[in-house]
Structure 1
Amino acid sequence: MKGIIFTEFLDLVEDKFGMEMVDKIISSSTLESNGIYTAVGTYRFSEMLQLLKHLSENTGISIDDLLLTYAEHFFSVLEDSYPGLLATYKDPIDMLSSIENHIHVEVRKIYPDAELPTFEVVEKSDKHLIMDYKSSRAMHHFGLGLMNKTFEHFNGSATIALEKIKEDGTEVRFIIHQN
């Protein structure tokens, strides 16, 4: 997993819960990196799982809800860092339907070894999108948070339902209706 995911996560934890919480979740975890991350480094996903688990235990917030919050934070990082990429789209449905064939292609130019989920468009119209998400990491709530922020970015809103294709969350269908 790319280091930017870790550095931004720890920034969010510090902003929302304080530096003491950052220290607490790092010291509670067994991290090969010792909790020292660079944005361009690559780290084991198991480290993120430990950090999320310990944050959840210390805050009483579910991991899914933490991933939603983190995605909202991370979207603002994308807006600030890659405004040209977002500007190429005129509406949220077009942007979301191009995750696999455009956005992830651009991400791989910056981070060639990035391990990204896949998004397959099943059905698309002007106000409706069905996509299947596949990832061994089962971080679909992170994807959901990014989708919510995509609609906000375009001053819109949507109803987004999740249907687990696989119970472990490694395959999920997003059913999106733009309001």
Structure 2
Amino acid sequence: MKGIIFTEFMDLVETTFGYSVANVLLDGCDLPSGGAYTSVGTYDHQEILTLVGQLQKLTGTPAPDLLEAYGKFLFPKLAVQMASMSLAFDGALDLLLSLESIIHKEVLKLYPDAELPSFDVKKINDNEILMEYRSCRPFAHLAKGLIDGCGEYYQETLSVSMKHINTEAEFVTLITVRQL
């Protein structure tokens, strides 16, 4: 995974829980990188899972809630990057409908080695979409947080529901997004 995911996660921890918790978190994890991340580096996704698991122990906050909070925290920072790539959207649903066709294509131009999840997005009607999240990584709750953050960014009220589908090969989650 790209280092920005790790550096921004540590920024969330420091902002939300404080520097002392961030230090205890890093000290409590046996990480191959030693917890020294750069935004342009590449790191094993297991490290973020280790960090989230340890943060859950330290704070008592369930891991899915931590990942969703992280997604909400991360979205505005990604929106700045999209703006720098001259990507503009009419609102949250417009952006989500463009994940594969525009956003992920642009990300891969910048980071050809990025391993992105895939989203099959279908428009149900003007106010509702169905997204199928597929990944080798269990980050559907992070995706939900990003969607929630997208709604906040565009000042739109979204209802997001998820249904996990068990497969042996990958993580699959159906995500329904309704604009209220």
Q: Note closer, same or farther for the CA distance 1:86–1:69 as it changes in structure 2 (3 Å cut).
A: farther
Q: Which residue of 2 aligns with 1:174?
A: 175
Q: Report if the CA contact (8 A) 2:56-2:63 is conserved.
A: yes
Gaps of at least 5 residues in structure 2 are none
Task: Report the CA distance between 1:86 and its aligned residue.
Answer: 7.7
Separation of aligned partners in 2, 1:106 and 1:75: 16
Q: Note closer, same or farther for the CA distance 1:154–1:131 as it changes in structure 2 (3 Å cut).
A: same
Separation of aligned partners in 2, 1:159 and 1:81: 25
User: Which secondary structure state, in structure 2, belongs to the residue aligned with residue 42 of structure 1?
Assistant: coil
User: Which secondary structure state, in structure 2, belongs to the residue aligned with residue 112 of structure 1?
Assistant: coil
Task: Report the CA distance between 1:36 and its aligned residue.
Answer: 0.5
Are 1:52 and 2:55 counterparts?
no
Taking structure 2 as the reference length, the TM-score comes to 0.92
User: Which secondary structure state, in structure 2, belongs to the residue aligned with residue 82 of structure 1?
Assistant: helix
Which is further off, 33-42 or 20-29? Answer: 20-29
Separation of aligned partners in 2, 1:24 and 1:70: 19
Letter in 1 for 2:152: E
Q: Which residue of 2 aligns with 1:36?
A: 36
Separation of aligned partners in 1, 2:2 and 2:79: 18
User: Which secondary structure state, in structure 2, belongs to the residue aligned with residue 144 of structure 1?
Assistant: helix
Task: Report the CA distance between 1:81 and its aligned residue.
Answer: 3.2
Q: Which residue of 2 aligns with 1:163?
A: 163
Separation of aligned partners in 2, 1:118 and 1:86: 22
Taking structure 1 as the reference length, the TM-score comes to 0.93
Task: Report the CA distance between 1:85 and its aligned residue.
Answer: 5.2
Are 1:75 and 2:80 counterparts?
no
Q: Which residue of 2 aligns with 1:65?
A: 65
Which is further off, 42-51 or 75-84? Answer: 75-84
Q: Which residue of 2 aligns with 1:2?
A: 2
Q: Which residue of 2 aligns with 1:16?
A: 16
Separation of aligned partners in 2, 1:74 and 1:115: 18
Task: Report the CA distance between 1:7 and its aligned residue.
Answer: 0.5
Task: Report the CA distance between 1:10 and its aligned residue.
Answer: 0.5
Backbone CA RMSD of aligned residues: 1.8
Separation of aligned partners in 2, 1:81 and 1:101: 17
Separation of aligned partners in 2, 1:154 and 1:76: 10
Q: Note closer, same or farther for the CA distance 1:23–1:54 as it changes in structure 2 (3 Å cut).
A: same
Task: Report the CA distance between 1:72 and its aligned residue.
Answer: 1.1
Q: Report if the CA contact (8 A) 1:89-1:95 is conserved.
A: yes
CA deviation map 1:45-74 (0-9, x unaligned) = 111111110000000001111011111111
Q: Which residue of 2 aligns with 1:132?
A: 132
4+ residue stretches of structure 1 with deviation over 4 A?
Answer: 84-87
Q: Which residue of 1 aligns with 2:112?
A: 112
